[in-house]
Chains A and B, each alone.
Chain A
Amino acid sequence: MKSFWSITLATLTKDIRLEWRSKDALNAMLFFSLLVVVIFVFSFDPLAEESRHIVGGLVWVAFLFAAVVALNQTWARELRNQVLDAYRVSPASANALFLAKVLGNFIFVSLLEALMTPLFIIFYNLRALGPAWQLIPIGLLGTWALVVNGTFFAAMSLRTRSRELMLPLLLFPVSIPAVLGMVAGTTSILTGENPAHFWIVLLLTYDVVFTTACLGLFETVLQAE
């Protein structure tokens, strides 16, 4: 058990170090998320009152796009020189690798969201009428929902042709209840019309169910050559 977490940590630090050394993906992704926000601002120019109703959807669709582009990079480094094979022949647990990748992506996507959120607030002049602190659990649980399944399906799409196209095709249908939860929860809080508790519980259930499923089945996916 100790070695499990030490491998997770070693893989995570290795990924962060490599990312920091190249910084290519990081810079490109930051710029990409900025572009997404600007495009949305040009496409939808609502009044403050209307924006409360639609911005929940806009924000999460923007996050979803940014996350998919980021998730597609997850396994790219492991494919170069087939380093993934070196992991597969080692006795290290497949789930340690999976958790490290999920944590890495969670940090990365959260960073992007933290950059995009203030831009959305500024451009759309947002102010929550409901309890704003509840946006934090929705944001964290929603990001985890996207990232945990996204990492899993990105690993699955490694074994397919046209890899980058496959990820959204696999991820989006399964993510529909989570997306509904994030969007409806955010909208309830922004408009203050309805309580968001159900959506937080839904996201929590979704996260628990799918994290368990991913951990149970990741080894099968990793070894499926």
Chain B
Amino acid sequence: MTNPSIAPIGAPIVVIVITGLIKQFGRFAALRGLSAEFDAGKFHVILGDNGAGKTTLLRALAGLAQPTRGTVSILGMDPQEACREIGYMAHPSLLYDEMSGMENLRYFARLYDIVGDERCEQVIRAVRLDPELARPVGQYSQGMRQRMSLARAILHDPKILLLDEPFSNVDVHSAREMVALLKAMRDAGKTIFVVTHQAALLEGVADEFVWMQAGQIVERTAGLASNSTRAGER
């Protein structure tokens, strides 16, 4: 079932299989026996209270948090083996404050064996920023920094995108632009995971809402349920 090639024609292809995932930090378990499968080419939104384990789940998918128990399989591989197919955007920017956006991306492109500046300029334009901007990232506004951070995550054209709070402290206009970009990427066949408190922004765009609570997935719904109007509030 982890091998996409044996899936029946027409059936959604499973890209991520999680079985019995536990992540324990001393006397606290952030994930508690979580099992799930996720389909390719879908837009998944992960919702839940603070401390429900959303960020830890994303980090486990990215291969940053090693499971205490259980397994994560991405495209049939270990997350660290699948790293070329994963784009990860964290809550902090993951950028060097003292360098300009272009310099940052040029460095990260080297890590993925991407040669030349074309790809870097392309992704910076994709997030509606100017590649010529010489200002260091530390002096960017929060919205610009988030978009640059997204540019870093999609630099190597990954099949799976893991985004942790991409819209926090971003003005509504920029957030809508980012949503449109993500929608376009989903339509191009990418699998997208977004952890957010602003679920309302994604209503109508997301294919699935994944509800987490106390380290487990409690429900998966196609839309925001009727009693969920408060979910968009912070």
Give the interface centre of B83, B93, B110 by most chain A CB atoms within 10 Å: B110
Nearest neighbor of B115 in chain A, beta-carbon distance = A6
Closest chain A residue to B84, Cβ basis:
A91
The residue of chain A having its C-beta at the shortest distance from the C-beta of B25 within the complex is: A225
Find chain A residues with CB under 8 A from B99 CB.
Answer: 14, 17-18
Q: Mask for B42-60, Cβ within 8 A of A = 1, else 0?
A: 0000000000000000010
A177 to B66: give the CA distance in the assembly, Å. Answer: 35
Encoded as 1 (CB less than 8 Å from any A CB) or 0, chain B from 89 to 128 comes to: 0101111111100000001101111000000000000000
B64 with A85: CB separation less than 8 A = yes
Q: What is the chain A residue whose CB lies nearest that of B96?
A: A83
Residues of A within 8 A of B80 (CB): 223
- Tally of A-B Cβ pairs under 8 angstroms: 68
Q: How big is chain B's contact interface, by range?
A: 20 to 34
State whether B107 touches A225 (Cβ < 8 A): no
Task: Tell whether A89 is near chain B: CB-to-CB under 8 Å.
Answer: yes
CA distance A92 to B92 in the complex (A): 21
* A6–B111 CA distance with the chains assembled, in angstroms: 9
Residues of B within 8 A of A223 (CB): 66, 80
Contact A91 B98 (CB under 8 A): no
B66 in complex: contacting residue of A83, A87, A225, CB < 8 Å: A225
Give Cα distance in the complex from A9 to B108, angstroms.
13
Chain B residues with CB under 8 A of A10: 107, 110-111
The reply to whether B63 and A89 form a contact with Cβ atoms under 8 Å apart is yes
B contact residues around A7 at 8 Å (CB) = 110-111
Among A6, A81, A88, A225, contact of B110 (Cβ-Cβ < 8 Å) = A6
Residues of A within 8 A of B108 (CB): 86, 90
Residues of chain A from 74 to 94 with CB closer than 8 A to chain B in the complex: 77, 80-83, 85-92
User: What chain A residues lie within 8 Å of B36 (beta carbons)?
Assistant: none
B40 contacts the other chain (Cβ, under 8 Å)?
A: no
Is A91 touching B111 in the complex (CB atoms < 8 A)? yes
Residue of B nearest to A78 (CB): B96
Residue of A nearest to B158 (CB): A89
* CB proximity of A4 to chain B, nearest CB, Å: 11
Residue B152 lies at the interface, judged by CB distance under 8 Å to chain A:
yes
Find out whether the CB atom of A22 lies under 8 angstroms from the CB atom of B94.
Answer: no
Pair B96/A90 contact, Cβ less than 8 Å: no
For residue B113, which residue of chain A has the nearest CB? A3
Contacts A77-B96, A85-B64, A89-B63 aside, 5 further interface pairs with beta carbons under 8 A come to A89-B88, A90-B83, A92-B110, A92-B111, A225-B66
B interface residues with partner A (beta carbon < 8 Å)? 59, 62-66, 80, 83-84, 86, 88, 90, 92-99, 107-108, 110-113, 152
Could you write out 19 A-B pairs with CB less than 8 Å apart? A6-B110, A10-B111, A14-B107, A80-B97, A81-B96, A82-B92, A83-B94, A83-B96, A85-B64, A85-B88, A85-B90, A85-B94, A89-B86, A90-B112, A91-B83, A91-B112, A91-B113, A223-B80, A225-B59
Q: 8 closest Cβ contacts across the A-B interface?
A: A90-B111, A92-B111, A86-B94, A10-B110, A82-B92, A81-B92, A89-B88, A81-B93
